[in-house]
Structure 1
């Protein structure tokens, strides 16, 4: 009789411990421990623009702190673009985890068949909130986030009086719903919105907050005090400075390239670099404000902070100002993870794409499942160990530039009006890509290896270009200025002139 009573007692306890109510309580406890994710995204900030990573000319105390408390990817890349607005497909690949030729390669839209990163986070119980720039169409935005503030739908704008919207549950983002224009700098405007979100956060569900800044994209406007900080800073010309690019790369006459005169002069390039750095320093200060709020709200210890950029920028390197090329300065971007369980002060040379962030965030947020459409590779094990996820990267720009790199070498091929040019660089010995080895017989075997790698990568990523065909067998994509309204082109030329006058040229 006693044994029966004991059995019934054990059964009662077991049932209580595994009741739906108990399971929900356990799930709630587990959910409360899931890390928040604060994703800070810069616009046109290239790699090697952070003091703690070796650039002693730039002032970035808050980004330096992230480097010291987290893990930095030294070889994080974008894949490229099929249009001059490189940041649009870069952001579309980020949001879908897919490669360039497996999305709208202009980035102007995102196919609704692809579940975006924030939507996947939302489905798993995260509060998702967007602040700042969105460059992939309003429909894609509506399909992505559950909240937001100071949302800018566009590619570029002056840094002041930015046209923004607050989140609309009904998806109404017509002109009459626009916020009153704010005289604040865009970086401050977006930081204010992030701080407002953190101050109002109720802690019920973990959050995924995406703060997409406009800086340091031109126009290079910032509070004067930040430009003044560089009065006593000696900024050197980059080792790969050139008065002009040595050959026609297919996109030398585009808006970005109008921001300095031809040929490039050392004085104007240095003035542009100082203004570029001043914008980054101002951005850094706003990032510091956001992180300080995290700490004040006791959210810092359970928040993964990720900082990255959507693409790089030449600013005088190789005779270029813009990002419509495949040199390291334009495709290599900063990427830093800082937060709970992330190694401190670690730097990894592992190759990564921005599109890898989607599955990485999914793995870092327990219970978030990456959909089958995601093609990127999670970087979680790279962060936690010495693992790697790929041994090469592939890059392309429009119909006339293709590139690939492995752990040391990089090849770039151009086909402009059926004139083919090949470059081969040893990135270990020549990180600024100043010495083309393609015509050096000592590197003929390496060149053949890299040409084969490039062809293999093109096949892997569904690039239809074929080096054996005239014009590589792909349609010629018009230059931006040749397919844009002439009045708009004239307007942007005037803005470029104004920008030069701001620099004293």
Structure 2
């Protein structure tokens, strides 16, 4: 008995199968090839003294919130503990030696003119690449890199100057003039100006507007946002100062490591010295405890101020519906001494200066994890390429951290390397110095070798510190027979690093 089911020819059935198969593949391809946005957040002079890093007294709820969304690297290190060289490294994927730049004022295009930067690589692969705030170091005669961006970078100085003439209601949107004494700025200041008048608040406001605007574009974006605090001067609204009780702030001991090299530290920070009330203590060598406590208080308040601005960015991503398709990287360009050893600022190879905060939040990866694995800022470039399915340029000197994002216990490198020059400039281009210090850490020991810049075989001094119990350097163990094997092992690892690079 014949049914009423219609008969289909073999060719008709094949056509139907191909239709559904093609449609399914197209749908899968749309999912797999959808490019993820990048929110790239830089913070100036931020050391990893945050609640999510174990400093429970710090009020950083928004950075903590980001850490819960991604992976926190407990042992990430910059390549040179000063603004321009560090930022050059993360943006180009090159170490300072590859660029031959160790100062603040030399534009990297002068020494590596054809290098493809991180945002430039994304721009070349169909992304809209934009920047708001401080990403490259543009002071001291240095400049921004036009090739990195799809549109001209937002000039905050120009914008604030324009805002001086634009009133919104009864409020002028600019930071109030900071008080000076004898023509010098105060190093710290509890401001009564509205928060929206602060420079970093203006940066956050502009960045949130860019997120909203970029959502309307039919392209993925790479948005770099750079905050200026907690760089000196430590200026923040009173409400952030009031988060911290000065009586609870502990001033570090003013004790240098025993047997440390004369090249290890800059005894007196020229960066801090230019502010009012500092230079008078230069002859004594140390700042008094009360002044030190006020500086630390100001730094903490500034960190909380920046944290609030990061919250605005995270809120903007969520409100725009872009959160689930956006990779977020938060990094500090280097560490900072807050009175440890009686010293301030960065400019050394010490653990406190070279260790940087690094948090990466990527869709489809484990959330709320921490990793003890070593990482370097120079690794961020290849990591973002791998996360985005973008080909890595051949010049990169870092390694992708994606294996660690997948498994926080994974190891991609055995040491992290930083460097710092000492001595007088010996050429007119100010790119070479008499002595170069190379420093590596394996997560416990830090080894530093000071050598002639022009004749690397001429070894001038060595340092070895054990950080098993503390990040503070206490005693140079390089001349201890007990640690001779560790010294040799670390020196061999340094030699391998230098040979590779």
Q: Distance in 2 between matches of 1:352 and 1:27?
A: 32
1:286 counterpart = 2:309:
yes
Judged with a 3 Å threshold, the aligned counterparts in structure 2 of structure 1 residues 23 and 383 are, in CA distance, closer, same or farther, namely closer
8 Å Cα contact 1:108/1:136 also seen in 2: no
Q: Give the match for residue 131 of structure 1.
A: 132
Q: How far 1:131 sits from its partner (Å)?
A: 0.6
Shift, 1:230, TM fit: 1.9
Distance 1:430 1:29, change over 3 A: closer
The CA distance in 2 between the partners of 1:454 and 1:324, in whole Å, is 20
* Aligned: 1:218 with 2:258: no
Q: 1:390 aligns with which of 413, 438, 444?
A: 413
Q: Over aligned residues, Cα RMSD in angstroms?
A: 3.3
Q: How does 1:62-461 map to 2 (within 5 A)?
A: 62-80=62-80, 86-106=82-102, 108-110=107-109, 111-135=112-136, 141-147=145-151, 150-152=154-156, 162-164=157-159, 179-180=162-163, 182-183=174-175, 184-200=197-213, 201-202=215-216, 204-231=218-245, 234-238=248-252, 248-249=262-263, 251-258=266-273, 260=278, 261=281, 262-366=285-389, 368-385=390-407, 386-398=409-421, 399-414=435-450, 420-461=460-501
**Equivalent-residue separation in structure 1 for 2:406 and 2:236 (angstroms):** 38
| Partner Cα distance (1:134, 1:430) in 2 | 31
Q: Secondary structure at the match of 1:55?
A: coil
Change beyond 3 A, Cα 1:115–1:16: farther
CA offset at residue 179 of structure 1?
4.5
- C-alpha offsets along residues 265-294 of structure 1, whole Å, 9 cap, x if unaligned? 332222211111111000000111111121
Kindly state the Cα deviation for residue 75 of structure 1 after the two structures are TM-superposed. Answer: 0.8
Q: Structure 1 residues 455 and 89, CA, compared in 2 at 3 Å: closer, same or farther?
A: same
Cα distance in 1 between the residues matched to 2:480 and 2:234: 40
Checking the alignment, whether the CA contact within 8 Å between 2:256 and 2:474 is kept in structure 1 is: no
SS in 1 for 2:58: coil
Gaps of 5+ in 1: 153-161, 166-177, 462-505
Equivalent residue, structure 2, for 1:168 = none
Residues in 2 aligned to 1:88 and 1:66: alpha-carbon distance in whole angstroms: 26
Distance 1:118 1:186, change over 3 A: same
User: Does the Cα contact within 8 Å between 1:109 and 1:140 map onto a contact in 2?
Assistant: no
- Matched pairs, number: 430
Give the secondary structure class of the aligned counterpart of 1:308: strand
Within 1, Cα distance between the matches of 2:307 and 2:462? Answer: 38
Whole-angstrom distance in 2 between the partners of 1:29 and 1:448: 51
Residue 39 of structure 2 aligns to a residue in which SS? strand
Normalised TM-score (structure 2)? 0.77
Give SS of 1:212's match: strand
Q: Deviations over 1:444-483 (max 9, x none)?
A: 222222233233323332xxxxxxxxxxxxxxxxxxxxxx
- 1:486 corresponds to which residue? none
In 1, the alpha carbon distance for the partners of 2:345 and 2:259 equals 12
Query: Which stretch of the first structure deviates more once superposed, 438-447 or 248-257?
Result: 248-257
- Secondary structure of 2:89's partner? helix
User: Structure 1, residues 298-354: CA drift from partner, whole Å, max 9, x if none?
Assistant: 222222222110111112112321211011111100001124223222111111111
Q: Deviations over 1:86-129 (max 9, x none)?
A: 21111111111122211242462233421111121122222222
Task: State whether residues 424 and 447 of structure 1, in contact with CA within 8 Å, keep that contact through their aligned partners in structure 2.
Answer: yes
Structure 2 unaligned runs (5+)?
1-6, 165-173, 176-196, 422-434
- Displacement of 1:9: 6.8
- SS of 1:318's partner is helix
Name which of structure 1's ranges 400-409 and 353-362 shifts more when overlaid on structure 2: 400-409
Deviation for aligned residue 1:212: 1.0
Indicate conservation of the 8 Å contact 1:244/1:320, yes or no: no
Q: Indicate the SS of the match to 2:345.
A: coil
CA contact (8 A) 2:35 2:220 kept: yes
